[in-house]
Amino acid sequence: VCFDAWISLRGGAGSSEKTNMLRQVRGFLEAHGDGRFAMHHRGADDHAPKTLNRVGVLRILNEDGQPIKTNSQHAVEYGDRMPSAMGETVSYEYFILSEAMAEVCKGYDIRAVCAVLVEFGCLVTKVPGRFNIKTTLPGFGACRCYHITPAIFDLDL
């Protein structure tokens, strides 16, 4: 009875290391999503708030899952300020800069964390065996980063 209660409290009999890795990344995004990620659609906006200790770029996805890439596209879909009711229909994807991924995965091997993220459908890859992608980000140009999908928030951890 005690063992079954412990397994239930623990979240199951499987390996907890994968769950802990996913919690590490998701916890970082939950704690720092607004403060340490620059908004993609405001990349060319010289009046955008400064992002201190930036670790990457945050991009809004509309309710159809399509990215909002520019201020004008944001204005057409949501106006100058997004109403809170509309905010419930959007999701976010994260582009974590290569050098910052060590901080996001603190305490774990980056490659191991990325393999788990891929396994759970939370990391976009383009080349087999390579976890970071080459893309163009506003304010950075062409760069390598890790592309985390909104699926990480849907996981039952």
14: pLDDT confidence band, cut at 50, 70 and 90?
low
Strands 91-97 and 123-124: unpaired
> For 48-105, how does the pLDDT look when each residue is reduced to its tens digit (9 = 90+)?
778 889 999 999 999 999 998 887 888 888 887 777 877 788 999 999 999 999 999 9
CB 40 within 8 A of CB 68: yes
Helices 16-32, 110-119: axis angle to 10 degrees equals 90
d(CA 102, CA 109): 8
Phi, psi of 110 (to 5 degrees): -60, -45
> For 21-36, how does the pLDDT look when each residue is reduced to its tens digit (9 = 90+)?
999 999 999 999 989 9
Look up tokens 């506003």; give the residue.
Answer: 138
The predicted model scores a pTM of 0.86
Question: Of the candidates 30, 39, 31, 24, which has an alpha carbon nearest to the alpha carbon of residue 107?
Answer: 24
Maximum pairwise Cα distance, the chain: 61
